[in-house]
Structure 1
Amino acid sequence: MKLDRPAAPDPYGLLPAVPSFQLLSTDVADGKQLSDDHTLDGANRSPRLSWSGFPDTTRSFVVTCFDPDAPTPSGFWHWTALDIPVTTTELSAGAGASDETLPRGAFHVRNDFGARAYGGAAPPPGDRDHRYCFAVHAVDVEHLDLTPDATPTAAAFTLLFHTLARGVVTPVYSR
């Protein structure tokens, strides 16, 4: 069944503006189709991400992946990793597999699949391209005072008050 609905807005375009910084990946690119490596149909591995140019006042990072085009009123959270140390400026491919594969002190909150890890792209078959907004948020505190039991929405709300800058790369995927 083909879903006929308008495209969702850019999720970060709805928030107060913050400066941007460079987010690079050898695995994903703006507007380009995700490889099967990063989907539930394939290897389900988080992509390699690296970043630079963030503010000097940054104290930690949060990495997220959000699908605003999911057929729900609130989109779909695929990945939320919190309290990444400021000394970390790269996550290797597969770093989202578990808390053990993240830098020391960082942790995941449950994605919308229910796992504390990266969950790959899995849009409904036949739906148009979904956007997967991979974002690295430069944060003004070392710890967001959230626990692994927090929801990704609670983490996003808390980030609203602590984000200094953000780098985003948005590949697409459809089945």
Structure 2
Amino acid sequence: MLKKLCIAGSFVLALPALALEVSSPDIQEGHFMAKTFEFSGFGCGGDNKSPALNWKDLPAGTKSIAVTVYDPDAPTGSGWWHWLVADIAVENTGLAQGAGSTGGKMPVGSRSFNNDYGIKDFGGACPPVGHGMHRYQFTVWALPDAKLPVPDNANAAVVGYTLNAKALAKKTLTATYAR
């Protein structure tokens, strides 16, 4: 939708701003994820594959992308970080299925941080049996820096804090899972 703007007494049409879009052929907003994306360990027996993610319409000034996966429903009092990766060059428009899993191919120059499983790889869904439906928030962050200004050993809270402080835009795709 075009908007009219009044500039110095004259009306001009302004083009709409592009909004960051995130999609996936593997997961859909509000839908249950396949067992392929369940963790392998902690009593879970999935394939621990990271789903494919695609993004477009990055805001002006974006110099890198970050991707996080967070479960706000984990019974920890502070949620559960499943994946944190930053410093993805803007030339990339997505990640293939399994890119963040053991043996996967992440973009050159990207950095992964320890998740709450204590690993740098993607850690799939693994809610406690009978705990009900959990939400898994796959968030793509557009950032103004080529390198997120945190040390390589930064914990999830520091990475999350810095992403929220720096983001030019972010978009979340929320899938669900239960056991």
More helix by share: 1
Same fold, judged at TM 0.5 (above): yes
Q: Which residue of the other structure, out of 152, 173, 177, is the alignment partner of 1:169?
A: 173
SS at match of 1:161: helix
Q: Which residue of the other structure, out of 48, 52, 55, is the alignment partner of 1:51?
A: 55
Q: Which has the higher contact order (CA 8 A, sep 6+)?
A: 1
The one-letter code sitting in structure 1 at the alignment partner of 2:130 is G
Q: Equivalent residue for 2:148? A: 144
TM value normalised by structure 2? 0.84
Written as runs of structure 1 = structure 2, the 5 A alignment for 1:74-89 is 74-89=78-93
Q: Does 2:78 align with 1:62? A: no
The one-letter code sitting in structure 2 at the alignment partner of 1:35 is A
Aligned residues: percent identity?
38
Post-superposition offset of 1:30? 1.0
TM value normalised by structure 1? 0.86
Post-superposition offset of 1:128? 1.2
Post-superposition offset of 1:173? 0.2
More strand by share: 2
Distance across 1 between alignment mates of 2:173 and 2:164: 19
Residues 61 and 136 in structure 1, CA contact (< 8 A), matched pair in contact too: yes
Written as runs of structure 1 = structure 2, the 5 A alignment for 1:73-152 is 73-98=77-102, 101-152=105-156
Q: Equivalent residue for 1:16? A: none
Runs of 4+ in 1 over 3 A off after TM superposition: none
Distance across 2 between alignment mates of 1:173 and 1:54: 29
Post-superposition offset of 1:39? 0.5
SS at match of 1:87: coil
The alpha-carbon distance between structure 1 residues 148 and 135, as it changes in their structure 2 partners (threshold 3 A), is: same
Q: Greater Rg, structure 1 or structure 2? A: 2
How many residue pairs get matched?
157
Q: Equivalent residue for 1:160? A: 164
Unaligned runs of 5+ in 2: 1-17, 40-44
SS at match of 1:37: helix
Question: Could you list the per-position Cα deviations for residues 47-67 of structure 1 after superposition, in whole angstroms to 9, with x for gaps in the alignment?
Answer: 000001120210101100000
Distance across 1 between alignment mates of 2:151 and 2:108: 15
The alpha-carbon distance between structure 1 residues 75 and 51, as it changes in their structure 2 partners (threshold 3 A), is: same
